[in-house]
Chains A and B, each alone.
Chain A
């Protein structure tokens, strides 16, 4: 089955800890994205990557970090510098990347719900 997986589904973090959220896709997509969703809100872009070994800050990058060492993987680390990390985190991908091919329809993973204790 092709798709995007995120793990874990639920994550609990103590204040002051860094945590890493996993995102893997086997769709052979170039572009990958991380969004944050707060209750009753839309999605806000944290980071995105159009190609391996390259990524850009989104609208709310402070307190987060990412890496893109492999095409299939785009992990997100929520650092202790993120003051209000409790939220639902969504990873997405699309085929386009820097080639610009196709439309930028996004394929989403099932999400990770992070709670700070």
Chain B
């Protein structure tokens, strides 16, 4: 079964707006990762946040992690048309270090 569930399933925004995607998971984790997938392509790793971290930034990306609520959010600021893609969270469980479980993804459309 899927460990992570993203919300919303789909999101459509205007260029320049911020996009926020959420991920909830069920069991204790070692870390949580966010990936991006352009249509028909492989996934690209965006950012990893460890279980003892609460917030992480990378360029226009901001990720938060709340282990008490078993949830994470990905914020993309000042979105661009090129950000149009599907975004997936993936969790690495405590003790199952080499195995990550992917969520169902959020499909983001940025309208120019």
Contact = CB atoms under 8 A, between A and B. Distances in A.
Interface of A: 4, 31, 35, 41-45, 48, 50, 58-59, 88, 90, 92, 94, 96-97, 100, 103-111, 113
Interface in B70-112: 88, 90, 92, 97-105
Interface of B: 1-2, 4, 31, 33, 35, 40-45, 48, 50, 88, 90, 92, 97-105
A110 B41 contact: yes
Contacts, number: 62
A45 B101 contact: yes
A41 B45 contact: no
A21 to B, nearest CB: 13
Contact of A42 (B31, B41, B103): B103
Contact of B99 (A45, A107, A111): A45
A111 B98 contact: no
A96 B88 contact: no
B105 A42 contact: yes
A108 B42 contact: yes
A66 B2 CA distance: 23
Given A58-B99, A110-B41, 6 more contacts: A43-B43, A43-B88, A48-B98, A59-B1, A104-B98, A110-B42
